[in-house]
Amino acid sequence: GDSGDLAWGEGHILYAMINMFYATGDSRWLDTFKEHVDTALCFLTDHDGDGYLSWHTNYYTPEPARYKAFPAPGNLGTGRIEVPEEVVEKEPWNTRTVNHRFRVIFLTRRTFIVVDEDMKMPAFLSHHPPWGLRWLPIQRYEPGKLVSQVRGIRFTVTGQPEPGDSFIIVPQKAPEYDSVVHDGMMTMPIARFIETVLSDEELEARYGETARAYLKFLERHFFEKWMSEPTGGKPARWVELPGGRGLFVWEPIGFRKERVSLPMNQYTAFGRTIIKLWQITKDERYLDVATKMARMVKSLLRVKDDAYWWYYAEPVADWDGRKKPSFVEHTHYADMDVGFMIDAYEAGVIFNREDMRRLTNTFINVMWNGSLENPKVAGGVLGGAGYSTALCDFVRLAQFNPKVWTICYKINRESKDVKRLALILACERYVHQPS
């Protein structure tokens, strides 16, 4: 249920499935979509007691995980166990600490196993093969050697334990927080499902009850949550700036010491959901937020050679403190930014045809290498920065120049990324539309 795993994994799959429905009209994609969303909703919890159900993560948390370890009563040997009191560095995603109680059991004087007592099974390997999780096999005891193969823990045993001796490890994982970018990546495809269903009589008859239920979830537990006061588990808020602009910022709650504005791709990820909520409901609350966010984004775009470029993040108010922007936006995150800009244009919010022309110029005249035989796209919106194949929402610019579709198709036609392939298929219609 980690929000990062869901967003960067399941969120991409949901977006792929809704685009496969756009491409094929086959309602089986909507059936599968519903199954996936219903499963994801099962992982919602009110982890911080603020009344809002949420997905959440501790991956980005700089606060440490903590460990305690002690010998079991009645041990006969001289064995001792040591664990790090704190782990402050980010662990790989498949080794994050879990709040499970572990027991190290010596089978002989030279072998031991590790049991996850909460799961009532052997502990998992920290680095598992691509075909799935694997149990930690019986280990050979080497006094003083760090044992780091167990998912979520590491420890050292010294001395000489006797057969049947055991040691208990009790981890306490780092605090978890809600993430507005993760919420956006998960809820945007759900909002598209709702819009698709409620705008078609036949689909509404079949999926309408589900779509309206999803809408209630998005309005209550996501939009209202992020527009409410921040909490220890949700340290972000919506703020408004001069010029009718707005964005989400991190507040000095929990691990943050100072307020800081989120990077563009992080607030626009949820902005895409808000745009869809406006299109679905015509509720002026959503239009107000979407409009102010779109103004913010447009105010950060720069023009060079009749094409747009922008930074990953830059100071927008005194609280940001930084005198200089960060790096030029790279293609992977720019793809998310462009998705927001196109969504805003299609909804009639701030962005216009001229903006789309300049974005298309960015792709065709700046990022593309000019070859259709061996096309490549730059790793950044100013060109350079190597090359990137992270072309998902960029392909939607094909509605303004069909050559965009051809470039994206030739680069990603053998890709294993289902999100990119699905959107390429969904946008093929732009190649054949009347000029």
- Taking phi over 0 as left and psi of -120 to 50 as alpha, with beta for the rest, 61 belongs to beta
Q: What is the C-alpha separation between 271 and 361, in angstroms, rounded?
A: 24
Most confident of the following: 47-56, 130-139, 164-173, 191-200: 191-200
Q: What CATH number does the domain containing 257 carry? A: 1.50.10
Do 420 and 343 share a structural domain?
yes
Most confident of the following: 18-27, 83-92, 97-106, 124-133: 18-27
Tens-place pLDDT, residues 126-172:
765 555 678 999 999 999 999 988 888 889 999 999 999 999 999 88
pLDDT band of 94, cuts 50, 70, 90: very low
Residue 256 has pLDDT above 80, yes or no: no
Do 393 and 284 share a structural domain?
yes
Residue where a domain terminates, one of 147, 172, 197 = 172
Residue where a domain terminates, one of 149, 172, 195 = 172
Q: What is the C-alpha separation between 421 and 429, in angstroms, rounded?
A: 14
Do 264 and 354 share a structural domain?
yes
Residue 426 has pLDDT above 70, yes or no: yes
Q: Within 13 Å, how many C-alpha atoms sit on residue 395's CB side?
A: 27
Do 144 and 12 share a structural domain?
no
Domain ranges, residue 193: 3-58+177-432
Q: What is the C-alpha separation between 390 and 315, in angstroms, rounded?
A: 26
Do 327 and 210 share a structural domain?
yes
Do 78 and 37 share a structural domain?
no
Residue where a domain terminates, one of 107, 137, 172 = 172
Residue 431 DSSP label: H
Residue 282 has pLDDT above 80, yes or no: yes
Task: Please tell me the pTM assigned to this model.
Answer: 0.86
Do 330 and 242 share a structural domain?
yes
Do 188 and 156 share a structural domain?
no
Residue for token pair 């103004």: 295
Do 293 and 336 share a structural domain?
yes
Given a contact cutoff of 8 angstroms between Cβ atoms, the answer to whether 114 and 139 are in contact is yes
The count of domains in the chain is 2
Quick one: pLDDT at residue 29? 97
Residue 92 has pLDDT above 60, yes or no: no
Residue 186 has pLDDT above 90, yes or no: yes
Residue 216 has pLDDT above 70, yes or no: yes
Do 185 and 152 share a structural domain?
no
